[in-house]
Amino acid sequence: MKKRSTFGSTFGTVAVVGGSVIGLGNIWRFPYIAGQNGGAAFILIYICVALLISVPIMLSEFSIGRAAQSNSMRAYAKVSGRKGWQAIGYLGIATAFTILSFYSVIAGWGLEFIKESFTGEFMSMDAGQIKANFDAFVGTGWQPILWSTLFIVGTAFIVGTGVEKGIERFNKYAMPLMFLILVVMAVNSVTLSGFKEGAAFLLKPDFSKVTIRTVLTAMGQSFFSLSLGMGIMVTYGSYIRTGRNMFGIAGTVTVADTCIAILSGLAIFPAVFSFGINPTSGPDLVFLTLPNIFAQMAGGQVFSVMFFVLLFVASITSSVSLLEVVVAWVHEEFKLKRRAATAVVGFGALCLAVLCCLSQMPDSALRVGSLDIFTFFDKLTSLYMIPVGGFLVVIFAGWIVKKKLMRDEMTTYGRYGTSLFDIVYPLVKFVIPIIIAALFLNELGLFKW
Ligand code: PHE
């Protein structure tokens, strides 16, 4: 049998996993969610959730993948010796595929904004005109379709080139570039008049806004941002070489993910306050508020280009991981060559992305209940599929897989973090399933805190 691909270096491994976790979730979603949920208080809860819940889940996914040496669907069957558990793998693959569709649409908007930043289109517009301009763009249907197609083709090109030569090589350049841009933007932010107010909003906690819902929101955001609950880390875990320190990798990317989320907040909120805009505006924050700010800011056009290039790089390294989960499955289970598998899956994702774009045209009939398909996919995955996926992973890792296997994989046969394992394992087995179940039932109204 052909040797299975692995990531070459430790830096490469961190860059690829980091590339997956750092994405629209950090730059587009985190700032507005933190804004709506009380700023600094939310961030504190978010950090606790990341350490207590997300890192153990990531370590569990890595361990399952590395033990199985296969795509995520097969991994659950292999590690447990029972076929039924493949269901978790299938759920994850379906989740990744669905996310890929609407994710590409948002990334496509980002591409349009790179173009508009270069041409300086929105530099002379006021807030109302910027909104009308954006609505007109989305309303055409075909323009977002064109950009998402381009985005998916780019993603497919990287994935089709291979794990080490395509995915790893691309990430090794993309990640440092991204970090650099973000630091420049955050430094510029310090010079703005609203810096103090913006920073205080992010860094001074106000616990009066915190409810149980805040914890659920933080958990959902953390899972999304760390790409958990859909087999991405199982698939990537299967490419991690045996000698590597899993705790080191999971710790590094979680810290990087959190820092980048906060850095993007620091790059965005001072600007928001400097121009007297409401910090709690929703998903529009990046696409309506920021262009409005760039239009008024000194050197705004340059920062605008930088910001949307950043958004693009962050999103393509994440969409690569979404596509890879599905491609690894098709490639190994249907015995298609990697390129052919990528083409098939990429085309499928494109079809869904087209539906998402069309669903946002005025009077579109593509709706599920009161939601357009785009919003429906977003809510379906982040509120239901991902938390359920995360819950099943910890149940699987804690109750189905033998403890010895988890210990051997997680600690690389006793080489790294054996005492950390003694903390992580009971979290995985008892604490995390109870917390996720309780939060979930509370949300569904079946259980009241
Ligand atoms: N973690 C990525 C982000 O923060 C998004 C993502 C979600 C990627 C799920 C893969 C899987 O944007």
- Return the bridge partners of 205, or none: 39
- Chain segment 120-164, per-residue pLDDT in tens: 999 999 888 998 999 999 999 999 999 999 999 999 999 999 999
Give residue 370 CA to ligand 1 midpoint distance, Å.
26
Convert the pLDDT of each residue in 397-440 to its tens digit.
Answer: 999 999 999 999 999 999 999 999 999 999 999 999 999 999 88
Q: How far, in Å, CA of 42 to CA of 35, rounded?
A: 9
Q: Tell me: the pLDDT tens digits for 286-314?
A: 888 889 889 988 889 999 999 999 999 99
The reply to whether ligand 1 has any atom less than 6 angstroms from the CB of 185 is no
Can you give the pLDDT at residue 277?
77
- pLDDT band with cut points at 50, 70 and 90 for residue 280: low
* 343-382: pLDDT as tens digits: 999 999 999 999 999 999 998 889 898 899 999 999 899 8
Does the beta carbon of 17 sit less than 6 angstroms from any atom of ligand 1? no
**Does the beta carbon of 99 lie inside 6 Å of ligand 1?**
yes
Provide the pLDDT for residue 2.
61
| 318 Cβ inside 6 Å of ligand 1 | yes
Measured in Å, residue 128 CA sits from the centre of ligand 1 at: 31
**pLDDT for 449 beyond 70:** no
CA 67 vs. chain centroid, Å, equals 24
Kindly give the distance from the C-alpha atom of residue 132 to the centroid of ligand 1, in angstroms, as a whole number.
29
**Element of type H or E holding 371:** strand 371-372
Q: Mean pLDDT across the stretch 19-47?
A: 90
Question: What domains sit in the chain, N to C, each tagged with a CATH number?
Answer: 10-444 (1.10.4160.10)
Give the model's confidence band at 221: pLDDT under 50 very low, under 70 low, under 90 confident, else very high: very high
pTM of the model: 0.94
Q: Which residues contact 275 (CB under 8 A, 6 or more apart)?
A: 194, 292, 293, 296, 297
| d(CA 226, ligand 1 centre) in Å | 6
Distance CA 216, CA 449 (A): 13
Region of residue 6 (phi > 0: left; psi between -120 and 50: alpha; otherwise: beta): beta
Q: pLDDT-based confidence at 281, cuts 50/70/90?
A: low
- Residue range 177-186: mean pLDDT, rounded: 88
264, 31 in Cβ contact below 8 A? yes
For helices 40-49 and 195-203, what crossing angle results, to 10°?
A: 40
Average pLDDT of the chain is 92
Q: What pLDDT sits at residue 20?
A: 96
Contact 64, 75 (CB under 8 A): yes
